[in-house]
Structure 1
Amino acid sequence: MITPQQIETILGQTIDPTTGKDYLASKAVHNIQINEANVTLDIQLGYPANSVLETVRQQIEQALSTLPGIGSVTANVSSHIIAHSAQRKLKLLPGVKNIIAIASGKGGVGKSSTAVNLALALAAEGATVGLLDADIYGPSQPQMLGVSGQPHSPDGKTIEPKIAYGVQMMSIGLLIDVESPMVWRGPMVTQALQQLLNDTLWNDVDYLVIDLPPGTGDIQLTMAQKIPVTGAIIVTTPQDIALLDARKGLKMFEKVGIPILGIVENMSLHTCSQCGHTEPIFGVGGGEKMSQDYNVELLGALPLDIRIREHTDAGKPSVVAEPDGQIAASYRTIARRAAAKISDMTRDYNDVFTQIVMEDN
């Protein structure tokens, strides 16, 4: 007779390639049903995983088929994304489960193109995603997503996000003239960010990706103090100067209690389109060295590829322009790894516990 304990023993030795943990430790195993020698069970992943659901199903079924005397094995694999607690127990935003901040220590490292492609990659993997352009001085997401026109306000107080390739997005760039400079002091900028974030009618978003401006200034401080951030991703290039600034950004998030989901190394290698020669223009191994120094995960490395620039300039980022290409695959892998890191974090129980109100009669 096949027993549930035998099933759990096998799954306790089977490793999820995305999380690096076994399925039992990840609490992904549910509803084990045994009918004579036939086994049916549910595997519920805590991160969006459309592109690997079939791979996981085959992995589980092949692992269990090694049990002596087992008959058919049916694994139903799905994803279930829940809300996780933020720094200092800040209350979550209405309509938003998790917030991912995309940051860099300096400009020019490809942070915005990484942010938009990661948002689209999360959506492609099956999540409901929002994207907030928090770079008030230099908003670029409207052009990168090919979005224009002012957003609609149903009541004169709130605004509805624009939808681009299935992603809900909002940017100050949609509310001002494209050529108007934002000559604002810090308090005005942080107030504008909070209004964009809180007044947008986000609709049941699993992950809200926030594209931060470079550096460690007013916007970042406001994020730490008033916005419930689930985790941050640091974008850098292998160049020593970029890494120096990226380290400052990472330390800033550590000091304010925001978990670091990992590091993305952008512009790692350049492949010549004419001869195919590959060359590390900005250096080698910088992101990996930084991840080792600070004990955080290197989520992935992206190439210095002209198509990434061409796609975002055209308003159709690589994940949707070439969904089956290698660049899109890299973004989707990074997105899954980041979401898997979030799935290991503490759950937010504000929506579970009933509030008790004491009143004097």
Structure 2
Amino acid sequence: MEQENQASTKQENIPESNQIIFKILDANENCPGVGTQSAGKSEACAGCPNQTICSTGEAQKEDPALEEIAEKLNQVKNVILVLSGKGGVGKSTISTQLALTLAQDEKIQVGLLDIDICGPSVPRMLGLEGQEVHQSNQGWSPVYFEDNLAVMSIGFLLPSKDDAIIWRGPRKNGLIKQFLTDVIWEDLDYLIIDTPPGTSDEHISVVQYLKKTKVLGSIIVTTPQEVSLSDVRKEINFCKKTELPVIGVVENMSGFVCPNCDCESQIFPPITGGASKMCQDMNIKLLAQLPLEPKILLSCEGGKCFASEHPDTKSARIFQDIVKQVKEVARK
């Protein structure tokens, strides 16, 4: 009882502007969901900036673009989103190397879509900087890395690679929608979508836009440190709330492989148990633990497929195993 009084006193002493922030955070944690009868009407909705939209039913209205996107991506057999709660964990490395490794099989058609609007790194990692997107009456033609690997990124649309994208949410969402409706993806076995870190506008938009497409699921990338894992837990909860299947988690930078002796050592020790413990606690599959290896960096800088350049390395076998697991999920 005394603890409750203390908590109440602390809450009363918080400035009014900060109390609004706490209300928004509480609403986010206990959000009933936009598709429920209590949307915008429950106590958890108080203070949420979207309360009016939810309570009036505006949030439940279907975007006409969903049908158009479903028709445009009708020939895409599997859509995979690569997510991470935190930046700098190697998400784009996983996205590009996954696409390159899949494309080693010439019978497999692969697409790679970069929706990291403010920090597009896919063109650099594939050695495609300076390439241009061609527009016709049918739409935008993606840039082809190989005959069976098509790539699209805002990086191809910028006059200079150093230009900053200073956009608010609606404009970002508009471009993501355009990538899904105007790009000529044609017949793809896999469309891999590289997303920015976090659980914000771009993520909500792309999950909603893909609602009527063949989404295989998401691959979530983390590193062993707790500072990364804490954000990844939020990403997993985001997937659960949006009903986005999780294929599994890749723990990147899990150890370090010496380029001289090939010995492996721990640089970022998993003090709280790493991704393995997190996946066990959250009932999520651990796809792989990928070590930090200088050769992977060189492959990415040169726009090369690491698994084909260094097939005898441990990391190459791990990439091949990730691809194998993804194919198994796609066959189910």
TM-score by length of 1: 0.67
Q: Which residue of 1 aligns with 2:255?
A: 269
Q: Which residue of 2 aligns with 1:152?
A: 134
Letter in 1 for 2:242: V
Alpha-carbon distance between aligned partners in 2 of 1:329 and 1:274, rounded to the nearest angstrom: 19
Letter in 1 for 2:101: A
Q: Among residues 75, 99, 124, which one is paired with 1:143 in the alignment?
A: 124
- For the structure 1 residues 323 and 161, does the alpha-carbon distance in structure 2 shift closer, same or farther, using more than 3 Å as the test? farther
User: In the TM superposition, what is the alpha-carbon distance from 1:135 to its structure 2 partner?
Assistant: 0.5
Q: Among residues 185, 189, 193, which one is paired with 2:168 in the alignment?
A: 185
Alpha-carbon distance between aligned partners in 1 of 2:314 and 2:181, rounded to the nearest angstrom: 36
Q: RMSD of aligned C-alpha atoms?
A: 2.1
3-state SS of the aligned residue for 1:303? strand
Match status 1:326 vs 2:326:
no
3-state SS of the aligned residue for 1:194? helix
Q: How does 1:192-203 map to 2 (within 5 A)?
A: 192-203=175-186
User: In the TM superposition, what is the alpha-carbon distance from 1:123 to its structure 2 partner?
Assistant: 1.9
Q: Among residues 199, 205, 210, which one is paired with 1:216 in the alignment?
A: 199
Q: Identify the structure with the greater helix proportion.
A: 2
Match status 1:247 vs 2:233:
yes
| CA-to-aligned-CA distance 1:34-70 (integer Å, 9 cap, x gap) | xxxxxxxxxxxxxxxxxxxxxxxxxxxxxxxxxxxxx
Q: Is the 8 A contact 1:270 1:305 kept in 2?
A: yes
Q: Is the 8 A contact 1:133 1:211 kept in 2?
A: yes
Unmatched 5+ stretches in structure 1? 1-86, 345-361
3-state SS of the aligned residue for 1:205? coil
| CA-to-aligned-CA distance 1:218-256 (integer Å, 9 cap, x gap) | 011002211233300100011111011011111101110
Give the total of aligned pairs: 256
Q: Is the 8 A contact 1:272 1:278 kept in 2?
A: yes
Give the share of equivalent positions with the same residue, in percent: 41
Alpha-carbon distance between aligned partners in 2 of 1:167 and 1:326, rounded to the nearest angstrom: 25
Q: Is the 8 A contact 2:176 2:206 kept in 1?
A: no
Alpha-carbon distance between aligned partners in 2 of 1:181 and 1:230, rounded to the nearest angstrom: 32
Letter in 2 for 1:240: E
Alpha-carbon distance between aligned partners in 2 of 1:103 and 1:271, rounded to the nearest angstrom: 25
Q: Among residues 142, 156, 173, which one is paired with 2:155 in the alignment?
A: 173
Alpha-carbon distance between aligned partners in 2 of 1:138 and 1:260, rounded to the nearest angstrom: 24
Q: Which residue of 2 aligns with 1:288?
A: 276
Q: Is the 8 A contact 2:131 2:143 kept in 1?
A: no
3-state SS of the aligned residue for 1:266? strand
Unmatched 5+ stretches in structure 2? 1-65
Match status 1:123 vs 2:111:
no
3-state SS of the aligned residue for 1:187? helix
User: In the TM superposition, what is the alpha-carbon distance from 1:130 to its structure 2 partner?
Assistant: 0.5
Alpha-carbon distance between aligned partners in 1 of 2:262 and 2:185, rounded to the nearest angstrom: 44
Alpha-carbon distance between aligned partners in 2 of 1:312 and 1:273, rounded to the nearest angstrom: 16
Match status 1:260 vs 2:246:
yes
Q: Which residue of 2 aligns with 1:98?
A: 78
| CA-to-aligned-CA distance 1:191-235 (integer Å, 9 cap, x gap) | 111111221111210110000000111011002211233300100
Q: Is the 8 A contact 2:82 2:194 kept in 1?
A: yes
Alpha-carbon distance between aligned partners in 2 of 1:175 and 1:324, rounded to the nearest angstrom: 38
Q: Is the 8 A contact 2:77 2:189 kept in 1?
A: yes
Q: Is the 8 A contact 1:172 1:196 kept in 2?
A: no
- For the structure 1 residues 245 and 151, does the alpha-carbon distance in structure 2 shift closer, same or farther, using more than 3 Å as the test? same
Letter in 2 for 1:239: Q
Match status 1:132 vs 2:113:
yes
- For the structure 1 residues 127 and 325, does the alpha-carbon distance in structure 2 shift closer, same or farther, using more than 3 Å as the test? farther
Alpha-carbon distance between aligned partners in 1 of 2:308 and 2:167, rounded to the nearest angstrom: 35
Alpha-carbon distance between aligned partners in 1 of 2:262 and 2:308, rounded to the nearest angstrom: 25
Q: Which residue of 1 aligns with 2:3?
A: none
| CA-to-aligned-CA distance 1:3-24 (integer Å, 9 cap, x gap) | xxxxxxxxxxxxxxxxxxxxxx
3-state SS of the aligned residue for 2:164? coil
Letter in 2 for 1:106: K
